[in-house]
């Protein structure tokens, strides 16, 4: 399929989504929203993979996206379990109130 679109357009979109994800991670305090922002960043990365896969005519990118999805699913499962445990222990999911690692 001949595409009229340039790769750079997809890359630019990916960059925008990624930066939005970063902003979410940095500014939000709800740990669940932070995790969703991370999912958004991962998706932005996936878009880059698919784009290059298409323009370089190499399906390896698809396989990598597959892997990223699996890792994202695992991360979501564990991350949400941590959020649950945190809520059970501290009655909060605010990342600013968790500082056990303080030196």
Shortest Å distance, C-beta 33 to other proteins: 5
- Token pair 């922002």 is found at 37
Residues 67-86 that bind other proteins (CB under 8 A): 67, 69-78, 80-85
According to the binding rule CB under 8 A, does residue 45 interact with other proteins? no
Tell me the DSSP string of 23-49.
HHHHH--BHHHHHHHHHHHHHHHHHHH
Q: How many residues bind other proteins (CB under 8 A)?
A: 82
Distance CA 100, CA 103 (A): 9
Residues 10-29 that bind other proteins (CB under 8 A): 10-13, 15-29
Shortest Å distance, C-beta 36 to other proteins: 5
Residues 51-70 that bind other proteins (CB under 8 A): 51, 53-57, 59-60, 62-63, 65-67, 69-70
């Amino acid at each position: 399929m001949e595409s009229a679109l340039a790769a750079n357009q997809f890359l630019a979109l990916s960059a925008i989504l990624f930066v939005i994800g970063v902003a979410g991670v940095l500014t939000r305090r709800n740990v669940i929203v932070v995790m969703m922002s991370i999912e958004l960043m991962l998706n932005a990365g996936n878009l880059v993979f698919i784009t290059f896969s298409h323009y370089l005519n190499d399906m390896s990118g698809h396989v990598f996206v597959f892997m990223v999805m699996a890792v994202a699913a695992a991360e979501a499962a564990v991350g949400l379990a941590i959020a649950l445990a945190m809520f059970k222990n501290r009655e909060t999911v605010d990342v600013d109130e968790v500082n056990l690692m303080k030196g």
